[in-house]
């Protein structure tokens, strides 16, 4: 039997075990390390789902561009002369050479270094050296840079998909829109990124970051104990577990740490400064959204597959500055079954004062950055999980990981029947249904035929 067939048999078995094991809260450990599973993810997940590329504040002017990835492939996100945004596959139509030579900048022309083919910011082919001699009357219109199948923006967040059969972005986000509005739509000013993204590589699987930010709160009191010890986080661990896990829609989940009431002391409204919170145009939120936002201490969520959001009260200097709301967005960029590059942006509400933006940035650097205390805590176990996922012993012994928390009869979490927002909510946060929600959609997408989109209910 060939090794290729053996590997395919293993990947098919792993997906079958995932499908049948999820209702029992069992997930094969080898999903976090199998090479064939990873290659299938690039085609069935990243080449089909809506993937976050950039925030529109990164390209405010005509000609501004950033270079980003879908799966392992480079795309140019650029604002054209008419102010429209495009996402262009970074490959010259002549020999496939990359035409974008920097991570960001401003230009009117992208020039291939190989044979000099040039393209405008819409992706149109402008020309090439000695065009008439080389190509005569060949159509330039048919040789422009390829574009993504669909591109759309929501609350300044730019997403794209390579699948023309994919649902519209707002349909894809489903109930998650309601919660994104609570974070990115607090007032008419919106948010902006503070500087370029941090990028750092970890020997881990991209799914570890995605499932952690779907709502893994169980690790906070052990892995992040030092953050409480130094006063960087203001809410005791047991109190912080009081809140909700929400399966907003298929694949998309979030977790909210919430004060018992709006009058409860301590950080609320994501710990934004009171003078800033008073400027929020809360008429943009409906009454239920506003009540939840006012009680919220922490928002952590993941838009499937790999776009994560965190809004959390943090400080870099507890002796001199109280915790403030830090909003960070990030992607878990796949680089292989055991390698991921984290891209991390800090965001500020646009009408923050310069001092408030400085506090957000410095507090974020101290906590959720390549040198932050939370980041260094998290990445170490993810490295070990990926190591186990690609081990022969995990495969031979058929290791199944335990995702049972919150299943009927397991733990104290119970479904909140009167939850006012979309999706399915559980209280308190001793619960892993949010991770199971991610893997249910993952399972369906991994097995779906091209052009067929799964539809199922969260639970």
Eight-state DSSP code of residue 44: I
Eight-state DSSP code of residue 423: S
Distance separating alpha carbons of residues 62 and 273, to the nearest angstrom = 34
Provide the pLDDT for residue 149: 98
Average pLDDT over residues 424-430: 93
Eight-state DSSP code of residue 407: S
Q: Say which residues have a Cβ less than 8 Å from residue 270's Cβ, sequence separation at least 6.
A: 183, 293, 296, 297, 298, 299, 311, 312, 313, 325, 327
Report the top-level CATH class of 175-447.
alpha beta
232 pLDDT above the threshold of 60? no
**What pLDDT band is residue 85 in, cutting at 50, 70 and 90?**
very high
Provide the pLDDT for residue 1: 42
pLDDT in tens, 91-142: 999 999 999 999 999 999 999 999 999 999 999 999 999 999 999 999 999 9
- pTM of the model as a whole: 0.93
Domain regions of the chain by residue span: 60-149, 175-447
Q: What percent of the chain has pLDDT over 90?
A: 69
Look at residues 237, 372, 355 and name the one whose alpha carbon lies nearest to residue 316: 372
Distance separating alpha carbons of residues 202 and 129, to the nearest angstrom = 43
Provide the pLDDT for residue 189: 85
- Tell me which CATH homologous superfamily contains domain 60-149: Rieske [2Fe-2S] iron-sulphur domain (2.102.10.10)
Specify whether the backbone of 404 is left (phi greater than 0), alpha (psi in -120 to 50) or beta: alpha
pLDDT in tens, 139-177: 999 999 999 999 999 999 999 999 999 999 999 999 999
pLDDT in tens, 233-288: 556 666 667 899 999 999 999 999 888 777 766 666 788 888 888 888 777 788 89
226 pLDDT above the threshold of 70? no
Provide the pLDDT for residue 320: 75
Provide the pLDDT for residue 321: 75
Distance separating alpha carbons of residues 445 and 449, to the nearest angstrom = 8
Contact criterion met (CB below 8 Å) for 119 and 99:
yes
Angle of CA points 357, 77, 454, to nearest 5°: 100
Provide the pLDDT for residue 432: 95
Rg (CA), the chain: 23
201 pLDDT above the threshold of 80? yes
Contact criterion met (CB below 8 Å) for 22 and 440:
yes
pLDDT in tens, 358-415: 888 888 777 777 666 666 677 788 899 999 999 999 999 999 999 999 999 999 999 9
322 pLDDT above the threshold of 80? no
Provide the pLDDT for residue 228: 55
pLDDT in tens, 36-45: 999 999 999 9
Contact criterion met (CB below 8 Å) for 241 and 429:
yes
């Amino acid at each position: 039997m060939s090794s290729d067939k053996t590997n395919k048999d293993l990947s098919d078995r792993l997906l079958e075990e995932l499908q049948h094991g999820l209702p029992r809260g069992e997930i094969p450990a080898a999903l976090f390390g199998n090479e064939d599973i990873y290659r299938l993810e690039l085609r069935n997940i990243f080449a089909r789902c809506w993937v976050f590329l950039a925030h529109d504040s990164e390209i405010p002017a005509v000609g501004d561009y950033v270079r980003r990835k879908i799966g392992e492939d480079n795309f140019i996100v650029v604002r054209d002369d008419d102010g429209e945004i495009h996402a262009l596959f970074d490959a010259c139509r002549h020999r496939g050479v990359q035409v974008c030579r920097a991570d960001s900048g401003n230009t009117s022309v992208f020039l291939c270094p190989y044979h000099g083919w040039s393209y405008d910011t819409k992706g149109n082919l402008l020309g090439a050296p000695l065009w008439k001699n080389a190509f005569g009357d060949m159509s330039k219109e048919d040789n422009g840079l390829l574009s993504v199948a669909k591109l759309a923006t929501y609350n300044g967040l730019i997403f794209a998909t390579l699948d023309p059969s994919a649902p519209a972005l707002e349909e894809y986000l489903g109930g998650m829109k309601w919660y994104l509005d609570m974070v990115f739509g607090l007032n008419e000013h919106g948010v902006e990124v503070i500087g370029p993204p941090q990028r750092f590589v970890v020997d881990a699987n991209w799914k570890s970051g995605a499932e952690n930010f779907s709502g893994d709160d169980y690790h906070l009191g052990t892995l992040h104990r030092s953050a409480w010890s130094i006063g960087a986080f203001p809410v005791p661990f047991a109190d912080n577990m009081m809140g909700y896990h929400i399966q907003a829609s298929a694949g998309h989940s979030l977790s909210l740490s919430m004060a018992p009431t709006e009058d409860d002391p301590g950080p609320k409204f994501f710990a934004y400064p009171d003078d800033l919170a008073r400027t929020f145009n809360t008429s943009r939120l409906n009454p239920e959204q506003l009540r939840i936002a006012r009680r919220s201490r922490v928002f952590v969520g993941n838009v499937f597959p790999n776009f994560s959001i965190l809004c959390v009260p943090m400080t870099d200097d507890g002796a001199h500055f109280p915790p403030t709301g830090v909003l960070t967005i990030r992607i878990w960029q796949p680089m292989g079954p055991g390698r991921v590059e984290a891209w991390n942006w800090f965001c500020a509400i646009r009408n923050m004062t310069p001092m408030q933006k400085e506090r957000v940035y410095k507090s974020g650097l101290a906590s959720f950055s390549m040198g932050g205390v939370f980041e260094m805590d998290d990445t170490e176990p993810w490295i070990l999980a990926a190591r186990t996922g690609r081990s022969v012993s995990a495969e031979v012994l058929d290791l199944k990981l335990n995702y049972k928390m919150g299943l009927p009869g397991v733990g104290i979490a119970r479904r909140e029947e009167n939850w006012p927002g979309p999706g399915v909510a559980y209280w308190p946060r001793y619960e892993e249904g949010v991770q199971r929600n991610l893997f249910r959609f993952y399972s369906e997408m991994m097995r779906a035929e091209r052009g067929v989109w799964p539809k199922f209910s969260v639970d």
